[in-house]
Amino acid sequence: MAHPALEKHQKVLEQALAAIEARGYWTPYPEMPSPKIYGEEAPVKGKEAFEAHLGKQFVIDQPGQSGWHAGEKSPYGIELGVSYPVCNPDELVAASKQAMQGWQKVGAAGRTGVCLEILHRLNQQSFEIGHAVMMTTGQGWMMAFQAGGPHAQDRGLESVAYAWREQSFIPAQADWEKPQGKNPPIQMKKHFEIVGRGVGLVIGCGTFPTWNTYPGLFAALATGNGVIVKPHSNSILPAAITVRTIRQVLAEYGIDPNLVSLCVAPERSVTQQLATHPDIKSVDFTGGNTFGQWLLDHCKQANVYAELAGVNNIVIDSTDAYKAMLGNIAFTLSLYSGQMCTTTQVVFVPAGGIQTEDGHKTFDDVCTDLAKAIERFLSKPEVAHAVLGAIQSRDTAHRIEQANSGQLGTVLLSSQKLSNPEFPNAVVQTPVLLACDAADEAAYMEERFGPISFVVKVADTAAAIALSERVVSTHGALTVGIYSTNEQVIDAMTEATWRSKVALSINLTGAVLVNQSAGFSDYHGTGANPAANASYTDTAFVANRFRVIQRRYHMQA
Amino acid sequence: MAHPALEKHQKVLEQALAAIEARGYWTPYPEMPSPKIYGEEAPVKGKEAFEAHLGKQFVIDQPGQSGWHAGEKSPYGIELGVSYPVCNPDELVAASKQAMQGWQKVGAAGRTGVCLEILHRLNQQSFEIGHAVMMTTGQGWMMAFQAGGPHAQDRGLESVAYAWREQSFIPAQADWEKPQGKNPPIQMKKHFEIVGRGVGLVIGCGTFPTWNTYPGLFAALATGNGVIVKPHSNSILPAAITVRTIRQVLAEYGIDPNLVSLCVAPERSVTQQLATHPDIKSVDFTGGNTFGQWLLDHCKQANVYAELAGVNNIVIDSTDAYKAMLGNIAFTLSLYSGQMCTTTQVVFVPAGGIQTEDGHKTFDDVCTDLAKAIERFLSKPEVAHAVLGAIQSRDTAHRIEQANSGQLGTVLLSSQKLSNPEFPNAVVQTPVLLACDAADEAAYMEERFGPISFVVKVADTAAAIALSERVVSTHGALTVGIYSTNEQVIDAMTEATWRSKVALSINLTGAVLVNQSAGFSDYHGTGANPAANASYTDTAFVANRFRVIQRRYHMQA
């Protein structure tokens, strides 16, 4: 069972297994982009490695290449000009399926070891990947490094750990001895082979091209499957770097690198054909509801793991830390210009206002104070640019315009265009904050991806909790929050989240934001409300990606 | 975490956990219907308990009862005359959903303990349930006792063990401490609540009303869900006894018994409505492809675990135990008149015949000798009746007639009607064996449920293995077998089953039949060919039936 790559990374695996059981804080991949940790030359070399891709062909020696595709537009307005191999999807699938035979043969130990080595290499590339994520998604540098590098690697490692735990439960063989009273027992030898279900397709999103891709990628890979990564057409580079590194490591360990390939498919029809290919047995998807629902409806041959849209929300009942609460929410709404699937869109506030340590605050006070808190938080340009990053897509920019116009509610704070001195062509927008009534469901009760949030007036706290539950149950959410000094209110909100099945953050006033999800500890998505049918990461995310094929025969006496 | 029921059954749980890891032989439920094991009076009392149901109303105090339904017809021709409560399905769902709150509160330990107590009680009722299974399904007594009682309980316990293992991995809470260099760490407390997905619907089949029902029933129940059991309209009694016992045990432990209920729904439309009810979150189904496919297509709100039709097959390449092989296959084809989802339907034999220890046998020799082996095996009436049982459904009787007529292939052995002296009105039929060519795919390449099998002439062994693989991949199978004295042939068949994803039995010539699947050891179904999308039992069968809902907050300094 031993495999050199597993031996090399045995300790990380053991720690990861302990971490998924304890779900406290742990990571082997430091999140600080520090030369002390990653090496004195790592920052410069990483940036150079990123820049070396620009304007060039990104060569990956994949089968069925028919040409090159470019066209990524950086939200920071810089020229990228990288072109990627366009390959016949059927050939990629066939080659991956073929390569699965060798991948099956190295067994769970070999697969786990090789995956750990891949993650180790990707970690070493964190600066290069960080820059690639920043420039394709519009994230600020710190987030791009952290979420694009170590945090994404955490999520990949989490999948590998769950996959290993499950596979390690399957005995390679068993002796079955059934007693027959005074007669000799019936003896059978049984062998149990772990077999991947088939090639996995991982469809990336434009905002988190590694963080949302690594869980499915490594879950499928570690459980014996080949993987085709189909990145978002505007965030190809981080996926391409990842795929090339994976292929290098596979080849070093004697595995056919065509097990994993990159599929650049600008037309949706190509992705649709690929997703319904009979040999594609799993689809991991992060993105909008329209295409996500199409996949769920049409990929009958595959298990689909989908993270879709949602309407994340917070209920404010009361607080003993008013300013800190507003600061925390302001940070949440501003971070990466609200372009996180976990960002709060709706803040429910009772019509009668809230109690604070600073006395009673009316509904209008809360509206005004939250708007001011956002303004204050973003008042220093260097902070604003570091936090906001840039707007990833034209659709988001349009939604901001619409919100600014007052069509969706009273504008409490309108979005401002900022000019980034370092990237003059970057599209930078501060958040827009609106107010509306609970009855204005059409306005706030659908996902409006980007820095667009609503303070929604509800009758009282009980109504707010009930409305939050209904929003989550019917429209989905990855996160909800509650602010209250009243234990009964917190309990009521807790029980509401058990019914609507969403993760709850309580009274966040410090360094942790409701939209942050920590690998090995926080379950990202519950898998049981419309925002996602799976979670990063739990056993259900890996256990059905492989199957056990047994054979049995009588033992020779 | 402790719970009295779990303490009571702690040892069984520990042994079950060891068994699912080792997958050797183990059971806590003795399969011999012996008074020495079950108590001197158990056989008589069990039979009396069964007989006491006949001609009576089977009272279960369920909500929304509107009347009574009877109509089961015993394949043995005896009068059953039991009538069951007909209840409004919406009320059953609502009551079960309501009861889930208390079920959630007792936690995984409480649920596991209560499930173990339920299984213990069901084990004590094995004689009563055995008779109910026998008389509703047409199984012979020994199978009805074993498969209907202890073996079904094994499968239920297996689900409980897997469910416990998974749930026990989820920590109730975690302290998350993220270092901040020289500053104090960020500290959060996190709580993880295990929440069932919603009410489960378990749809039973007419032939194995407990063996095929208990896995899904206990998997859903142990993971925090309510369950509605919708039995096949001809095999209600075993399910009704089971549900009543479950409700008694639940009530004894202070759980609302409406958590689990029986839904008698003679019209398919009622089942369809129930299966697509928004609060039904899992559907376990065993049965035909038409309704199974309907469920898979329409139950978007639920996870569907389906065991459907298949074309089980055996490849004969060569043997060094010709007579024993024929005897084993004859037993397989005869057992319960081929009314097992695991029974072989197709025996592939090379056109050039096979090598045996007794010299070369032509294709025709094999055909003739297998037909004779079946005749010989069933020549003693008492053996024949014990093994064959009775024909469960009119559809099966029609299929036998069609096969006897020669429409589907050359009749090697025609089915005979037998008269059972003990049950003069029983419908008893010996197997029909047909021969045809590999090209006659329309004849043998669809499931013909019942005692109808084909010896199919293929060019050679390699072609047989390839054809077996194609049959499994395209039409599904729960079992395949190979007979060969050649290691390379066995390896080729083994690799074919890795691709087509089906369990393989090799050179069965003794007491074990290809259609027998042992709890805790044999995976029943791989979940990866068209015959079933899930397996009894593995982690994938339980892990997605519950979800983890977390809440987190800053720890007080």
B25 interfaces chain A, CB cutoff of 8 Å: yes
Each residue of A20-55: pLDDT tens digit? Answer: 999 999 999 999 999 999 999 999 999 999 999 999
pLDDT at residue A345 tops 60: yes
Segment A61-86 mean pLDDT: 97
Distance CA B414, CA B371 (A): 9
The structure tokens 């570690």 sit at A222
Distance CA B436, CA B413 (A): 13
pLDDT at residue B22 tops 70: yes
Q: Which residues of A touch B24 (CB under 8 A)?
A: 174-177
Tokens coding A126: 């964190």
Pairing of strands B227-230, B354-356: unpaired
% chain A with pLDDT above 70: 100
Q: What φ, ψ does residue A476 adopt, rounded to 5°?
A: 85, 160
Answer whether A175 sits within 8 Å of B509, measured CB to CB. Answer: no
Each residue of B153-184: pLDDT tens digit? Answer: 999 999 999 999 999 999 999 999 999 989 99
Answer whether A23 sits within 8 Å of B523, measured CB to CB. Answer: no
Each residue of A432-480: pLDDT tens digit? Answer: 999 999 999 999 999 999 999 999 999 999 999 999 999 999 999 999 9
**Alpha helix locations (H) across A87-125?**
89-105, 107-124
Answer whether B522 sits within 8 Å of A190, measured CB to CB. Answer: yes
User: What pLDDT shows up at residue B319?
Assistant: 98
pLDDT at residue A557 tops 90: no
Distance CA A172, CA B30 (A): 27
User: What pLDDT shows up at residue B1?
Assistant: 56
> Which residues, 6+ apart, have CB-to-CB distance to A359 below 8 Å?
none
Which residue on chain A is closest to B537 by alpha carbon? A548
Distance CA A155, CA A26 (A): 12
% chain A with pLDDT above 90: 98
Q: Choose between A266 and A314: higher pLDDT.
A: A314
Map residue B189 onto helix, strand or coil: strand
Write down the mean pLDDT value for chain A.
97
Residue among A171, A186, A510 minimizing CB distance to B21: A171
Closest by CA position to A444, among listed A328, A552, A348: A348
Distance CA B4, CA B1 (A): 10
User: What pLDDT shows up at residue B353?
Assistant: 98
Tokens coding B382: 């008492």
User: Which pLDDT band holds residue A1 (cuts at 50, 70, 90)?
Assistant: low
Return the bridge partners of A189, or none.
A175, A553
Given a contact cutoff of 8 angstroms between Cβ atoms, the answer to whether B119 and B153 are in contact is yes
Instruction: Among A197, A486, A529, A550, pick the best mutation site for testing chain B contact (most B Cβ within 10 A).
Output: A550
User: Which pLDDT band holds residue A265 (cuts at 50, 70, 90)?
Assistant: confident
Answer whether B551 sits within 8 Å of A504, measured CB to CB. Answer: yes
* Helical (H) or strand (E) element with A373: helix A363-377
Q: Which residues of A touch B511 (CB under 8 A)?
A: 186
Write down the mean pLDDT value for chain B.
97
Given a contact cutoff of 8 angstroms between Cβ atoms, the answer to whether A121 and A153 are in contact is no
Residue among B24, B506, B510 minimizing CB distance to A175: B24
Each residue of B331-382: pLDDT tens digit? Answer: 999 999 999 999 999 999 999 999 999 999 999 999 999 999 999 999 999 9
Which residue on chain B is closest to A497 by alpha carbon? B549
Distance CA B464, CA B480 (A): 12
A459 interfaces chain B, CB cutoff of 8 Å: no
Each residue of B280-303: pLDDT tens digit? Answer: 999 999 999 999 999 999 999 999
Return the bridge partners of A43, or none.
none
Shortest distance between the Cα of A486 and any Cα of chain B, in A, equals 14
Segment A170-196 mean pLDDT: 96
Segment A264-292 mean pLDDT: 94
Answer whether A523 sits within 8 Å of B550, measured CB to CB. Answer: yes
Which residue on chain B is closest to A480 by alpha carbon? B551
Return the bridge partners of B261, or none.
B228
Segment B403-423 mean pLDDT: 96
Answer whether A551 sits within 8 Å of B501, measured CB to CB. Answer: no
Q: How far is CA A502 from the centre of its chain?
A: 16
Each residue of B178-211: pLDDT tens digit? Answer: 999 899 999 999 999 999 999 999 999 999 999 9
Distance CA A524, CA A517 (A): 6
User: Which pLDDT band holds residue B267 (cuts at 50, 70, 90)?
Assistant: confident
Shortest distance between the Cα of B416 and any Cα of chain A, in A, equals 33
User: Which pLDDT band holds residue A266 (cuts at 50, 70, 90)?
Assistant: confident
Segment A234-261 mean pLDDT: 98
Answer whether B528 sits within 8 Å of A547, measured CB to CB. Answer: yes
pLDDT at residue A292 tops 90: yes
Shortest distance between the Cα of A195 and any Cα of chain B, in A, equals 7
Each residue of B74-95: pLDDT tens digit? Answer: 999 999 999 999 999 999 999 9
pLDDT at residue B546 tops 70: yes
User: Which pLDDT band holds residue A168 (cuts at 50, 70, 90)?
Assistant: very high
Q: What φ, ψ does residue A280 adopt, rounded to 5°?
A: -85, 115
B17 interfaces chain A, CB cutoff of 8 Å: no
Answer whether A554 sits within 8 Å of B510, measured CB to CB. Answer: yes
The ipTM is 0.97
| Chain B 322-381, residues with CB within 8 Å of chain A CB atoms | none
Which residue on chain B is closest to A21 by alpha carbon? B169
Q: Which residues of B371-391 are buried (b: 16+ CB within 10 A; e: fewer)?
A: bebbeebbeeeeebbebbbbb
Residue among A24, A498, A547 minimizing CB distance to B175: A24
Distance CA B320, CA A327 (A): 80
Task: Note if the bond before B344 is cis, omega within 30 degrees.
Answer: no
The pTM of the full predicted model, rounded to 2 decimals, is 0.97
A416 interfaces chain B, CB cutoff of 8 Å: no
Burial class of residue A28 (count of CB atoms within 10 Å of its CB; 0-12, 13-18, 19+): buried
Shortest distance between the Cα of A297 and any Cα of chain B, in A, equals 9
B166 interfaces chain A, CB cutoff of 8 Å: yes
